[in-house]
Structure 1
Amino acid sequence: MSTSTELAPAATDAVWLHGVTTGVAPGTLAGIVGIAGTPVRAVPAAGLVAVVSDAPLTEYGEEALRRNLEDLTWLEQTARAHHAVVAALSRAAVVVPARLATVHSDDDRVTRVLVERRDEFAGTLARLADRDEWGVKGYVVPGPPPPAAEPTGGGGGAGAAYLRRRRAQLTAREEGQQIAADAAAAVHTALAGYAAAARRHAPQDRRLSGASTAMALNGAYLVDRDRVDHFADLVRGLADRHPQLRLELTGPWPPYSFVAEPAPAVGGSA
C-alpha cells in the first residue's frame, strides 16, 4: 500500500507588529490599514492584545527587509504607514508602540512574545496611561557678526589683518555654540523637571530638520494630559528667557521615546 505525505503550504506572509495594548473596542481596528495595504487585526494573549498586519515575505522577509531598509524612500513610506496605525491606536487606547520593522514569523510567535513579556508590557502600559509624548526642538539663533574694525595697534599688513578677522570670527562662533549649548541644557533641565519622564535625543542634521540653523536641543517629554497647557506655557517662558534658541513644541505623539523595546526582529523566530 502506497502512502503519501501532504506538505503544508509554504508561508507567504510574516506578521508586522504595530503595538501592544490591553484591549481595543469592537470596531476600533475597522478601516485601519497596516503595512503593504493589509488590514490590521488583533492577536490576544495573556490579557494583552497585539495589533498586527500581514506583511508579504517578498517584501518583508529577512533578506528583502534588510535590503529595503537601505532604501530611504521605501523606509519613509513604511515608517509613515507604521506610525499611522500607532497614532490611530493611541487615540483610542494606551499603546506600547513597537519599533519599526518588528516582524515575526507568525501569530504563534506573537502570542509567545505577549506571554513572555506580559509583566513588562503591563508595567509600561500603566506608566503611559493618560500621558503623551511631546517634542521640543531648540534651533540656534545666530548672534551678531564680530566687528569688522581692526584691533587698535594691530599692524603686520593685510595678511595679519585677515588672520585677526578669521580668529575673531572663529572665537565668536565657538562662543555662540557654547552659549547655545548651555541654553539647551538649561531648557531641557527645566522641562524634564516638569515632565513625568524625559529623553534628550541627538540633534538632527539640517538636511533632516529642514531648518536653516543648527539644532541644539532635540528633547522628548512624557507629559500628563491634564498638564499639557502648563507645559506649553513653560516652553514659551523658557523661549523668552533663552533668546539664543528658537524653541519649537510638537505633539502629541505616541510615546516612542519611552518604550524600552529589544532590537527589532527580522524574519523568522524573533
Structure 2
Amino acid sequence: MLRKIQIIFFWMLAGLWSFSISADELILNPSEQAYLQEQQVISMCVDPNWLPYEKLDTDGKHIGLVAKYIALIQSKLGIPIKAIKTDTWQQSQKLYENGLCDIVSALNKTPERAQYLAFTQPYIESPAVLILNEKNLTANKLADLDGQTLGMVKGYVYESKLREDYPDIEIAYVSDMEVALLDVSAGTITATLGPLFLTFAMVQELGLDNLTVVGNTEYRDELRIGINKDNQILIDIMDKTVASLTKEDHSYVRRMWAVERNP
C-alpha cells in the first residue's frame, strides 16, 4: 500500500506551496529596521521531533523543511533566529505560553493558541488524512471510528477538533507521530490522523507497507509562524516577511530540503 500513498502524495505535493502564488515586496519601515538592528537574536520555539517538517538533531540543530524556511527568513531579515532546545512539543508549548520565545516556527492557528500568539499567513499546507492498517479497514471516514482508538500526540491541533467533532472516538495519546504509525502498523490502535505530507515521508522512511490512506478528512494543516502577541513590531515584521515569499523562494526551499534528505 506504500505505492498508493506515494501516488496520493505526489498528486498533492504542489499544493503544499499554494499560498505563494502572489507575494508582496518586503519593505520594512524605519521603526522595524531599528528594532532588528537593536535585537541580537530572535528566539524560536519548535517541535523537536516532527520530521519531515522539523526536528532538533542531537546537536540541537534545527533541520527539516520548516528549518529551510526559517533560514531563508533569517537571511531576509539579517538577524539570527535561534531555536530553543526542548525535548517535546509539550515543553515548547509551555515556553510560548509563558512568553519565553519570540516566535514559533510552524503551527496551525487555533483559538487556544491565539491567547498567546499572533499568526502570519500560512506558508505550508497539507490535507489531514486517516491512516489504517490494511488488515483492519474498519473505517472510511472519521465518523466510522466511534468507539475505536485513534493515536494522537497530546497538544496537536487535531486533538481539540476531534474531541469537539467526534467525542466518541477514543484518543490514545502517543509521544510522537512515529509512534502512532508504528502502533497502527502493529495493530495496537485502530488508526491515526496526520498531514499527508508528513505521513507519507514517515511511512516511507519506516518502511510500513501495511498502512494505507483511507481518505481525506475535513481537517488540514495550514502552518504559520506564531509570534508573541505582546510584540506588535515583530508581528508586523513577520507578517511582511512571510507575505514576501515568492514562488522562487518556495522552489529554493524545496531544492535545499531535497538536498538535505538525499545528500
User: What is the TM-score of this pair, normalised by structure 2?
Assistant: 0.24
Bigger relative contact order, structure 1 or 2 (CA pairs below 8 A, ≥6 apart): 2
**Greater radius of gyration (CA):** 1
Using the size of structure 1 for normalisation, the TM-score is 0.23
